[in-house]
Amino acid sequence: MVHVSTSLRSPTLRRRTHVMLVLTAATALLLAGCGGSDDTSNDNTSAGGNVVVTVDPNEANNVVVPERRFFNDSSPWNHRIDSLKVDPHSDRMIHFAQERVGVTELPNSNVITQVRNLVDDGLYINTYRWTVPVVAGGRPTQLVCRQLVCGDGSNTTTLNIPDDVDPDPRYDGWYTVFDTSASVAYDLWRARREDDDTISYNFMRKWDLNGPGYSAPWTEAARGSGLPLFAGLIRPGELQSGEIQHALAISVPGPAVGIFVQPASSTDGNGRPSSIPEGARIRLKRDVVLPKPRDPITGKLIKLTKAQQRMSDAIVACLRTYGAIVVDRAAVPTLYAQRNVTDTMIKGNELQGLTLNDFEVLPIGQTYHYPPEEDDVVLVSPSTSPSGQPSSSSTPSPTSSPTSTLTVEVSP
């Protein structure tokens, strides 16, 4: 565990006087990492234990924070996949997932044409832009929804939030707040801090940290895939220890349009229907050796420090052992590290020697239309979902109430 100290920005301001938690942690409290077993006996907390914050009343600016494994043992985020077979359509899905869809408008013309560009860029790790700050502690802060449909916001109007880590509206205002007293987390979409110190947002989803880490089909969340913002993040303690024991979150240029698979519960995919659906799991091929990364602009080799190389090796081992779950779309294949606390540890370009062609898709199973069609039905029983009952607090909206099951054949 570590002591996180915060200092006052100004003695005249009442904000900046409370404790911040960004879920950093020491290696001693981490679980056994990739390449190890699913046994959690070496951890001081159970897989479903609380995130604990202890404040010494005599040292109010210091917080003791253990880093923990999110969700329960049956969660798809916590399953090893190194022994699973490959989906028979893996090569085709990988190929189409590299297509980025865009539109062009010819000069002096009102004709708009859709174009598809093949993206062969290497794997990038977001450490600041388009990734998630994770916070807890602080002072009671009022939350204000800016629209009528707020997700779980109607039941949550105040949370303890630190003063010195704000959501960034430039990057969809992603923001995750942990309630350490209840072992739940709140994902906010399009959040921002207002002049009156309230946090306003467009949508909220509440997650049970002891649940499976996904929702019933056709349930929306802060991500287009319906998956938690904080699930699959690369965290600072994991980088320090060189051990990661959970699936990572990954985005690809062209996830399938109109279909998803669990653990996703919706999709914002815009690629071909034959592409990888959001919610699918991919794994780094066993025979792939991590090439030295090259600058995509100059083509020159990127020199890594010994620490960067060790952290890169840990991520590679995790991609072989736990793989990555497709959670979103991005301009290039993208992993996510926790914002504000990892950008001094890695630069993001350490794995640019890898491309999507170095990965394989695992069996995708049951697929679902999005939005649902008239004869669709929500399946939430343990026998038809990856890991038992969903862990978000909402249920599909009445307009998404289907009446029968649906299987989609992924065709060329």
Contact 27, 171 (CB under 8 A): no
Q: Which residue has the tokens 């679980």?
A: 31
Mean predicted confidence (pLDDT) in 361-375: 91
Kindly tell me if the per-residue pLDDT of 286 is higher than 50: yes
Would you state the pLDDT for residue 68?
77
Confidence class of residue 106 from pLDDT cuts 50, 70 and 90? confident
Which carries the bigger pLDDT value, residue 247 or residue 108? Answer: 247
What secondary structure does DSSP assign to 337-355, as a single string?
A: B-TTTSTTT--S-TTTT--
Asked if 295 and 354 touch (Cβ cutoff 8 Å), the reply is: no
Q: What is the pLDDT of residue 326?
A: 98
CA-to-CA distance for 177 and 318, rounded, in angstroms? 26
pLDDT band of residue 114 (cuts 50, 70, 90) is confident
Asked whether the beta carbons of 171 and 130 are under 8 A apart, the reply is: yes
Whether residue 387 has pLDDT greater than 50: no
Q: What is the pLDDT of residue 116?
A: 86
Which of 144-148, 236-240, 260-264, 402-406 ranks highest by mean pLDDT? 260-264
pLDDT confidence band for 112 (50 / 70 / 90)? confident
Lookup: tokens for 239: 């980088």
* Span of 124-138, 146-160, 394-408 with lowest mean pLDDT: 394-408
Comparison of pLDDT for 20 and 257, the residue scoring more: 257
Which pLDDT score, from 0 to 100, does residue 103 have? 75
pLDDT tens-digit series, residues 299-344: 889 899 999 999 999 999 999 999 999 999 999 999 999 997 888 9
Judge whether residue 164 has pLDDT over 70: yes
Please report which confidence band the pLDDT of residue 393 belongs to, taking 50, 70 and 90 as the band edges. low
Quick one: pLDDT band at residue 382, thresholds 50, 70, 90?
Answer: very low
Average pLDDT of the residues of the chain: 79
Cross-strand partners of 118: 99
* In the block, residue with structure tokens 């007293």: 181
State the Cα–Cα distance between residues 311 and 308, nearest whole angstrom. 5
Structure token pair of residue 349: 């370009």
Specify the pLDDT at position 412.
35
With 70 as the cut, is the pLDDT of residue 38 above it?
no
Q: What is the DSSP string of 200-268?
A: EESEEEEEETTS-S---TT---SSTTS--SSTT-B-HHHHHHT---SPEEEEES-PBSSEEETT--S--
Residue % of the chain over a pLDDT of 90 = 61
pLDDT tier at 404 (50, 70, 90 boundaries)? very low
